[in-house]
Amino acid sequence: MESTDTRTLKIEIPSCFVTSVNGLEWDDLSGLNGWQVLGAPAHVLYWEGTIDLSGYVRDMKTFFPSAAFMQEGPYFSLYATAPVIATGNMVITVVSSIPLDPLNLLLQTTTGGGPGFIDLNISATGVGQQDWNTVLFAESQVNLVNQNIPNATGILQPLSAEQSGSLSATASDTLYVMKMVTPFPQDGTAEERFIGNGMLVPASRVIIPGKFGIEPDVEYMMRLKRSVELANQV
């Protein structure tokens, strides 16, 4: 690899606040702030954005990540009107060199796997596995209501936070970022599973330090070829 330039990639993810009268689906969406509601189930929220690398690709440069991490606002909140108690949520953030589909991401994370992992056998749904090399970084979190700490705003307590990803070098002109929040519903019928009356998702950012470098022509062309092959599997 020839001369390199040190760079830090960053993407800002906005905060989000939604409420619900019946506690079954979010009906006041005035605070979405760029987030979207997944059509089914209607209580899943997701945000998607991109990191543009096209300027470096025009110079035939490859990005070599050295690390990746997240910074996040003070807390998640999921509250319910007494005497009902909200439960918690699952959060996943993914940075990929190929486009991400929100329904695919939801199915992967709720079947014991996730992007880049060998998931439960969900081939019958038409959802394929994602190659580990295309997932530069991912972080999943589980946050729960601590019923021993009463709070009117429903502040959630982190239970776990797991990171994964290949940090593989990429010659893609775009990195795709998706963050998804899935509240845990309480017991009930399939049509009436209570999730809560309000949910706050804090602002966050993903930071990926690394270097841009020029590879030998053959290696670079092979990397481009592999990137196109993986992208066409989406």
Scanning the chain, the segments in alpha helix (DSSP H) are 54-58, 102-109, 217-231
Structure tokens at 8: 């830090």
Report the predicted TM-score, pTM, of the whole model to 2 decimal places. Answer: 0.90
Listed as ranges, residues in the chain with pLDDT below 50 are: 189-191
Distances (CA, A) of 153 to 14, 37, 44, 200, 228: 20, 22, 20, 9, 47
Which residue shows structure tokens 């969900």?
122
Q: Which amino acid is at 205?
A: R
Identity of the amino acid at 147: Q
Q: What is the dihedral of CA 185, 193, 106, 208, to 10 degrees?
A: -40
CA dihedral 183, 189, 192, 196 (to 10 degrees): -30
Tens digits of per-residue pLDDT, 62-113?
999 999 999 999 999 998 886 667 889 999 999 999 999 998 899 888 888 8
How many C-beta atoms lie closer than 10 Å to residue 80's C-beta?
A: 19
pLDDT of residue 130: 79
Question: Residue holding tokens 């096209």?
Answer: 54
**Integer Cα distance of 128 and 151 in angstroms:** 42
User: In the prediction, which pLDDT does 171 show?
Assistant: 87
pLDDT at 2: 56
pLDDT at 133: 86
Strand partners, 78: 199
Burial of 109 (0-12, 13-18, 19+ CB in 10 A): buried
Output the pLDDT for position 126.
52
